[in-house]
Amino acid sequence: MTPQQKRAWYGLAIGIIWSLAMVAIFVVKGATAFDEDAGMRFTVYGLFIAGVLAYVAMLYVTGWRMRKEGVLVDERDRLILRKVPVYQMFAVLWTLAGWAIALSEVYHEQGQVPVVFTWLMFYSAIIVNIVFASAGTLIAYWRAK
């Protein structure tokens, strides 16, 4: 396993824990509670910022360790890693498509969508983007095998 793959596994672990925590809050409290419950809103904001910080800290620490150990990123690694943004882009597009279809179907009768879903779409797009930075790396290395 290359150092890039190890880093991707750490990123994926953070991303999965982060996603599950976000989903758990909305499942327990209910999506519409976001508008009424200030405590829930701040919990979600806090969790969102904590997730981003945890991911950035992981990138910083693993990057520092890789530089310290003189880890080599050669032409094959660069070629593999160049494919990762494509996986990220498709993952985000499919997520947004999923939201669009689900919200259109559920709220078709009302003709309007609760404001909370704009936030949920934003959070999910960011989280999916970060998760697929790691998952995309693992998929790209796996496909190169």
Partner 1 sequence: MGKVEMTNRIRRLRFDHGEMTQQELANKVGCTRQTIIALEQGKYVPSVTLAFQIAKAFGVTVEEVFQYEE
**Site residues (vs partner 1, CB under 8 A):** 2, 72, 74-77, 144-145
Q: Spell 97-131 as b/e; 16+ CB within 10 A means b.
A: eebeeebeeeeeeeeeeeebbebbbebbbebbbbb
25 SS3 class = helix
Closest C-alpha among 140, 129, 134 to residue 88: 129
Closer of 31 and 66 to partner 1 (Cβ): 66
Per the CB < 8 A criterion, the answer to whether 120 and 26 are in contact is: yes
| Residue 2: CB minimum distance to partner 1, A | 6
CB of 81 to partner 1, least distance (A): 13
Please, what is the minimum distance in Å from the beta carbon of residue 144 to partner 1?
7
Nearer to partner 1 by Cβ, of 3 and 114: the residue is: 3
Q: Pick between residue 70 and residue 111 the one whose CB is nearest to partner 1.
A: 70
